Amino acid sequence: MKTIYVDNNATTRVAPEVFEEMTPYLTELYGNPSSMHFFGGQVQQKVEEARERVAGLLGARPQEIIFTSCGTESDNAAIMSALQCNPEKRHVLTTRVEHPAVKNLVAHLKRQGYRVTELPVDRHGLISMEDVSQAITADTAIVSVMWANNETGVLFPVEEIATLAKSRGVIFHTDAVQAVGKIPINMAESQIDMLSLSGHKLHAPKGIGVLYVRRGTRFAPFVIGGHQEGGRRGGTENVPYIIGLGKACEMAAIDIEEKNLKVKSLRDKLENGLLEMVGNSIINGDREQRLPNTSSISFEYVEGESILLKLSDKGICASSGSACTSGSLEPSHVLRAMGVPFTAAHGSIRFSLSSYNTEEEIDYILEVVPPIIEQLREISPFWKGAMTQSCAAS
Amino acid sequence: MWVYTDKVRELFNNPKNVGEVEDADGVGEVGSLSCGDALKLTFKLDDKGRIIDAKFQTFGCASAIASSSALTEMIIGKTLDEAAKITNQDIVEFLGGLPDKKMHCSVMGQEALRAAIANYRGEKLPKEDSEIVCECFGVSEKEIVDAIQHNSLTTLEQVTDYTKAGGGCGNCHERIEAILQEIMGQAGAEPKPEKPAKPRLSNIQRMKLIEDTLEKEIKPSLAKDGGSIELVDIDGDRVLVSLRGACATCAASDITLKHYVESKLRELVTDTLVVEEVSP
């Protein structure tokens, strides 16, 4: 059976070019970049080249790039640094739809006595700039808002928020894990102070991330140790992965807009096809302010795990915001924050594409999905109204 | 990813007895769309009182569909007394096992069967008289006690796996722990510590305490679900409030009000308080 991989917001395939670039550093070229000898020195050169490549994709300076172990570490480092550098400030401002890397960190901070504001989103998944402006106080240490939502692909006006935060003297961080590589980013013309990215979302391996810290932004290290990364992140560099990420960023920067236009046209074909063929289906999230690769679509009256399992039997890999798939009993916090009705939230499927997807694959998905939904609706007591829907009456 | 047995996958892909029996003698409905799974079971009896036909409709994950299909296969040909003896464990066995997190699917099957039998006999289900413990999923104390006793559960996580209770906001975790303690304690018979008597409060102290409890205890908890609450007035034992945010439009808000807000206020202030919702 052929694998049709449309779960690229979960992780992506490592590009063959990336793997090739990494291999020598997993085998013969094993030196430590900190060593004084030539054997380590050549590795260090390659690490610095990777730093330049990452900086190139972001429109940043190489010194502004700190390599970390993952997106979660980057998010943690950014927020904890802002709090450490502003010990008199006790307020963190974020949104209700952040990734657990931020969401659970701020919940932890709340338990430690910090004040946390999580801004609501409207039914399209968008936040209001007025809410942001009102929520920033003299006590606010950091504003952290994701660039793009992982479940719906909805884009947040991070540049605008960064400008607002700057004018109020507050540090702004964005979790750009889902945005980097999918939309053009230029830190040279931005007011964003800190930005997180993760390698495995853009065809580098899992286990490598970056925290961008704008020159002049005060920074307190999160992982304390040796002098690596200019003393901003201790620990021997994950050399092969850093080099792999450098290559992935270099590749992502080439024709970024054209590549993503192609991805967008495939996504739109998939989405429009499904909406047309499957009644009672709804797109979650604003359709304009959105990543080009993501489609969160809800099929009413059926449950997401059932759909995923049937898709999986046909070789199609997607994901769902339904309760059953996460091991939790409630649908995703993102869909709930948007007020997606339960009729739809439990039946949400996320398709996330990459430039490796083809038109044939989309045609195949369009052929497979409608009968699956029909089949499950035949079983569902809600589809033909056999059962009404009260909760506590169960 | 969950690992399902071949039997679960087979019944998920080719479920038996899907639909609704015409002129059903018994109908059982459990679950709801908001809870994430639901099952409607219908059966018909022959003139000897045996189940001659049974059908199901299920909204839910693969294991919910497979459990429902299994249930119909298990009850056809049985008398109601025989069928009533089927437990969730029998369904699990029929399926060759279920992942821990999916045990509630088998419990849903058992409950639908009980509901359908009660419907036929014109009886009330015992759970209808039992207090709701988990507001998020509408799980009663009776259901929790049954699941603990029939499946020898010992932890909160297991109770959640089997009944869903406690899988939402988490406000009922203490209650569930207490129920567990009580049932397990029956074997060990540990005396329960007496609750300390509440000090008598002056009117002003009491008002202040009500305000504080709403602000510090109740609001943060409702805020987790995007809701809020405002104190409108206090009139004797009546606490008049107005719900805001997500609570204002939530279908379960009256349950939240009675079972959470009121019981919290009773616990922390005075046990005679009554919470009423008024429009702002």
Question: Is there a contact between B18 and A302 if contact means CB atoms under 8 Å apart?
Answer: no
Q: Could you tell me if A74 and A156 lie in one domain?
A: yes
- The confidence band for B275, taking pLDDT boundaries of 50, 70 and 90, is confident
Q: Would you say residue A393 lies in a domain?
A: no
Domain with A334, as residue range(s), is 256-379
Question: Is there a contact between A378 and B18 if contact means CB atoms under 8 Å apart?
Answer: yes
pLDDT at position B238, please? 86
pLDDT at position B198, please? 65
Q: Could you tell me if A40 and A143 lie in one domain?
A: yes
For residue B167, give the nearest of A301, A329, A389 by CB distance.
Answer: A329
Closest CA to B68 of B25, B124, B8, B119: B8
Is B191's pLDDT higher than 90? Answer: no
CATH topology of domain B129-188: Arc Repressor Mutant, subunit A (1.10.10)
Domain boundary among A229, A253, A277: A253
Is A201's pLDDT higher than 70? Answer: yes
- The confidence band for B169, taking pLDDT boundaries of 50, 70 and 90, is confident
**How many other C-beta atoms lie within 10 A of the C-beta of residue A36?**
8
pLDDT at position A393, please? 32
- The confidence band for A303, taking pLDDT boundaries of 50, 70 and 90, is very high
Q: Could you tell me if A212 and A283 lie in one domain?
A: no
Q: Could you tell me if A93 and A238 lie in one domain?
A: yes
Token pair of B109 as six digits: 């099957």
pLDDT at position B196, please? 55
Chain A partners within 8 Å of B59 (Cβ) = 301-303, 346, 379-382
Q: Evaluate whether B167 touches A327 at the Cβ level (below 8 Å).
A: no
Question: Is there a contact between B59 and A302 if contact means CB atoms under 8 Å apart?
Answer: yes
Question: Is there a contact between B39 and A390 if contact means CB atoms under 8 Å apart?
Answer: no
Question: Is there a contact between A381 and B38 if contact means CB atoms under 8 Å apart?
Answer: yes
Write down the catalytic residue from A70, A85, A317, A324.
A324
Chain A partners within 8 Å of B225 (Cβ) = 336
Residue A121: CATH number of its domain? 3.40.640.10
Q: Would you say residue A238 lies in a domain?
A: yes
Q: What angle do CA A375, A379, A382 make, to 5 degrees?
A: 115
Question: Is there a contact between A391 and B138 if contact means CB atoms under 8 Å apart?
Answer: yes
> Who contacts B215 (Cβ-Cβ below 8 Å, separation ≥6)?
none
Q: Could you tell me if A225 and A372 lie in one domain?
A: no
CA nearest to B165 within chain A: A329
Q: Could you tell me if A239 and A271 lie in one domain?
A: no
Is A232's pLDDT higher than 80? Answer: yes
A324 is catalytic: yes
For residue A303, give the nearest of B18, B30, B60 by CB distance.
Answer: B60
Is A20's pLDDT higher than 60? Answer: yes
Chain A partners within 8 Å of B167 (Cβ) = 328-330
pLDDT at position B239, please? 87
Is A77's pLDDT higher than 90? Answer: yes
Q: Could you tell me if A247 and A202 lie in one domain?
A: yes
Q: Evaluate whether A313 touches A1 at the Cβ level (below 8 Å).
A: no
Determine the average pLDDT of the residues in B63-89. 95
Question: Identity (one letter) of the amino acid at A220?
Answer: A
- The confidence band for A174, taking pLDDT boundaries of 50, 70 and 90, is very high
Question: Is there a contact between B35 and A393 if contact means CB atoms under 8 Å apart?
Answer: no
Q: Evaluate whether A296 touches A271 at the Cβ level (below 8 Å).
A: no
Q: Could you tell me if A134 and A232 lie in one domain?
A: yes
Chain A residues touching chain B at CB-CB below 8 Å = 96, 120, 301-303, 305-306, 309-310, 313, 322-325, 327-331, 336-337, 339, 342-343, 346, 378-382, 386-387, 389-394
Catalytic residues of B: 35, 105
pLDDT at position B254, please? 66
Q: How far is B30 from chain A (nearest CA, A)?
A: 5
Q: How far is A374 from chain B (nearest CA, A)?
A: 13
Domain boundary among A199, A218, A253: A253
Question: Is there a contact between B29 and A120 if contact means CB atoms under 8 Å apart?
Answer: no
Domain boundary among A253, A279, A298: A253
Q: Could you tell me if A280 and A186 lie in one domain?
A: no
The owner of tokens 């339960």 is: A342
Chain B residues touching chain A at CB-CB below 8 Å = 2, 12-13, 15, 18, 20, 29-40, 57-62, 64-65, 101, 132, 135-139, 160, 164, 167-168, 225-226, 246, 251-252, 255
pLDDT at position A118, please? 97
Q: Could you tell me if A217 and A277 lie in one domain?
A: no
Distance CA A211, CA A191 (A): 15
Is A75's pLDDT higher than 90? Answer: yes
Q: How far is A77 from chain B (nearest CA, A)?
A: 25
pLDDT at position A392, please? 37
Question: Is there a contact between A346 and B36 if contact means CB atoms under 8 Å apart?
Answer: yes
Q: What angle do CA B57, B69, B66 make, to 5 degrees?
A: 100
Number of domain units in chain A? 2
Determine the average pLDDT of the residues in A358-365. 98
Is A364's pLDDT higher than 90? Answer: yes
Closest CA to A269 of A187, A364, A176, A129: A364
Domain ranges of chain B: 6-121, 129-188, 203-277
Q: Could you tell me if A248 and A274 lie in one domain?
A: no
Chain A partners within 8 Å of B246 (Cβ) = 339
Token pair of B201 as six digits: 């409060």
Correct CATH for B6-121 of 3.30.420.10, 3.90.1010.10, 3.90.400.10, 3.30.70.250: 3.90.1010.10
The strand ranges marked E within chain B are 26-32, 37-45, 51-59, 132-134, 139-140, 227-235, 238-245, 274-277
Helical ranges in chain A per DSSP H: 16-26, 38-58, 71-85, 100-111, 129-135, 158-167, 239-253, 256-277, 304-313, 323-326, 333-337, 342-345, 359-379
Q: Would you say residue A384 lies in a domain?
A: no
Tens-place pLDDT, residues B219-244: 887 777 777 888 888 888 888 888 87
Higher pLDDT, B85 or B221: B85
pLDDT at position A391, please? 42
Is A394's pLDDT higher than 50? Answer: no
Token pair of A185 as six digits: 């980013």
Higher pLDDT, B1 or A326: B1
Determine the average pLDDT of the residues in A253-272. 96
Q: Could you tell me if A181 and A325 lie in one domain?
A: no
Determine the average pLDDT of the residues in A81-98. 97
pLDDT at position A386, please? 63
Q: What share of chain B has pLDDT > 90, as a percent?
A: 40
Distance CA B29, CA B35 (A): 13
Tens-place pLDDT, residues B124-155: 776 667 888 888 788 888 889 988 988 889 99
Helix axes A359-379, A256-277, angle to 10 degrees: 30
Q: Would you say residue A386 lies in a domain?
A: no
CA nearest to A393 within chain B: B138
Q: What is the DSSP string of B163-229?
A: H-TTSSS-TTHHHHHHHHHHHHHHHH-PPPPPPPPPPP--HHHHHHHHHHHIIIIIHHHHHTTTEEE
CA nearest to A312 within chain B: B1
Higher pLDDT, A61 or B31: A61
Q: How far is A346 from chain B (nearest CA, A)?
A: 6
Is A329's pLDDT higher than 70? Answer: no
Is B211's pLDDT higher than 80? Answer: yes
Q: Would you say residue A6 lies in a domain?
A: no
CA nearest to A120 within chain B: B226
Is B262's pLDDT higher than 50? Answer: yes
What does the longest C-alpha to C-alpha distance in chain A come to? 76
Homologous superfamily (CATH) for B203-277: Fe-S cluster assembly (FSCA) (3.30.300.130)
Global pTM? 0.80
Tens-place pLDDT, residues B93-108: 999 999 988 999 999 9
Q: Would you say residue A4 lies in a domain?
A: no
Is A52's pLDDT higher than 80? Answer: yes
**How many other C-beta atoms lie within 10 A of the C-beta of residue A167?**
11
Q: Evaluate whether B84 touches B111 at the Cβ level (below 8 Å).
A: no
Is A390's pLDDT higher than 80? Answer: no
- Indicate the average pLDDT of chain A: 94
Tens-place pLDDT, residues B36-73: 889 999 999 999 999 999 999 999 999 999 999 999 99
